[in-house]
Amino acid sequence: MNYIIQTHQLTKHYAGKPVINQVSMNIKEGEIYGFLGPNGAGKTTLMKMLLNLVKPTSGDIFILNQPIMAHSYTYLKNIGSLIEYPIFYEELTAQENLKMHCAYMGYKDQTHIKKVLDIVGLQQIERKKVKEFSLGMRQRLAIGRAIVAKPKILILDEPINGLDPIGIKEVRELLVMLKQQYKMTILISSHIVSEIESIADTIGVLNDGELIEEIPMQSLRDKRQSMIAMVVSDTKKAKQIVEEKFHANVQIMNVRTLNIQQVNVKPSTITKHLIMHGVDVDKVETLHQSLEDYFVKKINWRNQNDSFN
């Protein structure tokens, strides 16, 4: 497997306490890695360590197969980033800000700037100074600045923060386009699962400084518990039959409805079995647990138990 970013037992202490605790994460080349965790979990600290803005207490970082040491800086040319609140030259326009950034990065191809402004939806504002920008415009410009030098890797700390629903959708589409057309690898953090679940290829969950899950999105979708809801003619009889035959957890919701949980049997098999035993089935629906519920459960469970798998 070709990993573009790897950490091994990465740890950061502040005032003697671990803020990042033995984190080993693996980001594949060309993927969107969704980095999730509640506020204060340590996401920003970890991203800052990848960018050499914060030095690890212990552990290793490998980026583009190179170990990152205290004095490693040239690798940063391959990374575009947006960390915390973006700072700009307020008296300059978007275009001028991007020009300054290209000069700073030693990136000579300035023809790209107009295209980048188009990509992030900041066209036709040639005269506007950044100090007049809305929060959404600033966020777009920050993403534009992160991609203007065509980096191999994008590290974005909560880039969706402060955007309206249309802006959120546009940023999501932009990231997918950057992955597909420019083959960028994207690490994006968020504390809101639904913001990134539709675009992430892999999800890493950080809680209290520990990486409690790193899983391909597809496996996560398959792993989520599903529930079958059924409208039947006799709920008591149906409950008894399903529990006995399929060892499932069945709840009677109302006089006509049952919820069947934790069962590895197709709804059609259950339906056939019920009909065979004289219970009419009027409606069947499979309900998936939302990812949000999955993570909230997992994080709560983790916080209540010492050993966690």
Residues near ligand ATP (CB under 6 A) are 14, 19, 37, 39-45, 191
Minimal CA–CA distance to 150: which of 123, 125, 185? 185
| Nearest alpha carbon to residue 188 among 177, 209, 202 | 202
* Apex 62 CA angle, 61 and 64, nearest 5: 150
Q: What is the 3-state secondary structure (H, E, C) of 180-197?
A: HHHCCEEEEEECCHHHHC
Q: Measured from the CB of residue 214, what is the shortest distance to ligand ATP in angstroms? A: 16
Asked if 34 and 199 count as a contact pair (C-beta separation under 8 A), the reply is yes
Smaller CB distance to ligand ATP: residue 146 or 258? 146
Question: Minimum Å distance from CB 251 to ligand ATP?
Answer: 36
User: Nearer to ligand ATP by C-beta: 158 or 258?
Assistant: 158
Shortest distance, CB of residue 64 to ligand ATP, whole angstroms? 24
State in angstroms the smallest separation of the CB of 100 from ligand ATP.
Answer: 27
Contacting residues for 307 by C-beta, under 8 A, at least 6 apart: none
Residue among 162 and 267 whose Cβ is closer to ligand ATP: 162
**Residue 167, token pair as written in the block:** 């802006």
Compute the least distance from the CB of residue 19 to ligand ATP, in Å: 4
Q: Which is nearer to ligand ATP, 48 or 239 (CB)?
A: 48
Residues present in the chain in total: 309
Quote the least distance from Cβ 14 to ligand ATP, whole Å.
Answer: 4
As measured in angstroms, the least distance from the Cβ of 11 to ligand ATP is: 13
| Smallest separation (angstroms) from ligand ATP to the CB of 258 | 40
Answer yes or no: are the C-beta atoms of 130 and 92 closer than 8 Å.
Answer: yes
In terms of CB distance, is 44 or 52 closer to ligand ATP?
44
Give the helix ranges, DSSP H, for 17-93.
Answer: 43-50
Element (DSSP H or E) covering residue 155: strand 153-157
Q: Nearer Cβ to ligand ATP, position 171 or 270?
A: 171
Whether the CB-CB separation of 57 and 33 falls below 8 Å is answered with: no
Residue whose CB is less far from ligand ATP, 97 or 190: 190
Q: How many CA atoms lie within 13 A of 32 on its CB side?
A: 23
Neighbouring CB atoms inside 10 A of 26's CB total: 17
3-state secondary structure of 222: helix
Instruction: Using alpha carbons, select from 152, 222, 135 the residue that is nearest to residue 187.
Output: 152
Residue number with CB closer to ligand ATP (39 or 124)? 39
Task: State how far the Cα of 117 lies from the Cα of 124, in Å rounded to an integer.
Answer: 9
